């Protein structure tokens, strides 16, 4: 019986498992009771190794292979599935091998599987490269992010704001600021970090816009979000906003 690509990737990742790294990763991604990654399981395979394992198979993997990988109990195997999808979307969306239908199908598959990306790395390494890129190419599709922002689900909410990283890099800032407003008083620290990070990215490209936003909102922002947002500003400006807070 032929072995599927998903099975081959699974076996290779399992063979690379390191119990000590698994323990450290479980702590780092906060998998304990009541923590944001509660119940997630790690094999102890680092991201570069996962990328090395999937590289020969990215463009051969079927959507069913990706569904199987992203359904795994193991974090690294889910990541492998998402990274295959990122690679397939990237090839279909641009370059000489572009295929608009395949790109659209990759976006649809990501949305189908989005809840399997249930930790911040499974969001941050994937969402900007698929949904963010899609919105840059087709700005009218930005309602995808607005819908995710209204979901009330932490990981969907993080997808919505972090996807704008690619949009920011294209020179558009309004979508990020709209979502930052929505999440300004979000209760979870992972959203505080994401909002502050994206505001900092806006500031890299348009510092006066960031300063205007901070003038209006710094006193309302969680301190973590504020610290992330002002990280690249001068010491005097950072001190000004932290004192105001």
**pLDDT tens by residue, 178-215:** 999 999 999 999 999 999 999 999 999 999 999 999 99
Burial of 158 per CB tally in 10 Å (0-12, 13-18, 19+): buried
Burial of 3 (0-12, 13-18, 19+ CB in 10 A): exposed
Per residue in 97-125, pLDDT (tens digit) is 899 999 999 999 999 999 999 999 999 99
Structure-token pair, residue 130: 């698929």
User: pTM, whole model, 2 decimals?
Assistant: 0.95
What six digits make up the tokens of 88?
């397939």
Going along the chain from its start, the domains and CATH numbers come out as 1-119 (1.25.10.90), 126-245 (1.25.10.90)
**Cβ burial 71-97 (10 Å sphere, 16+ → b, else e):** ebebbbbbbbbbbbbbbbbbbbbeeee
Q: What is the pLDDT along the chain (245 residues), one digit of tens a residue?
A: 578 999 999 999 999 999 999 999 999 999 999 999 999 999 999 999 999 999 999 999 999 999 999 999 999 999 999 999 999 999 999 988 899 999 999 999 999 999 999 999 999 999 999 999 999 999 999 999 999 999 999 999 999 999 999 999 999 999 999 999 999 999 999 999 999 999 999 999 999 999 999 999 999 999 999 999 999 999 999 999 999 87
Handedness of CA 172, 178, 184, 188 (dihedral sign): negative
Residue with tokens 């193991």: 74
């Amino acid at each position: 019986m032929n072995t599927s690509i998903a099975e081959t990737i699974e076996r290779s990742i399992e063979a690379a498992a390191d119990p000590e790294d698994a323990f450290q990763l479980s702590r780092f991604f906060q998998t304990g009771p009541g923590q944001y990654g509660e119940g997630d399981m790690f094999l102890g395979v680092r991201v570069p190794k996962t990328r090395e394992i999937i590289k020969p198979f990215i463009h051969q993997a079927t959507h069913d292979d990706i569904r199987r990988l992203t359904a795994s109990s193991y974090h690294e195997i889910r990541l492998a599935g998402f990274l295959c999808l990122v690679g397939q979307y990237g090839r279909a969306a641009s370059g000489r091998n572009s295929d608009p239908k395949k790109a659209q199908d990759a976006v649809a598959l990501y949305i189908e599987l989005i809840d399997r990306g249930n930790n911040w790395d499974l969001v941050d390494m994937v969402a900007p490269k698929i949904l963010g890129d899609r919105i840059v190419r087709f700005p009218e599709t930005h309602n995808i992010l607005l819908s995710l922002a209204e979901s009330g689900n932490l990981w969907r909410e993080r997808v919505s704001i972090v996807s704008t990283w690619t949009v920011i890099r294209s020179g558009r800032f309004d979508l990020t600021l709209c979502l930052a407003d929505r999440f300004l008083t979000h209760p979870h620290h992972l959203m505080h970090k994401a909002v502050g990070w994206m505001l900092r990215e806006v500031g890299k490209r348009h510092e006066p816009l960031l300063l205007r936003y901070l003038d209006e909102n710094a006193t309302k922002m969680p301190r973590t979000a504020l610290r992330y947002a002002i990280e690249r500003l001068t010491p005097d400006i950072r001190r000004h906003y932290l004192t105001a807070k």
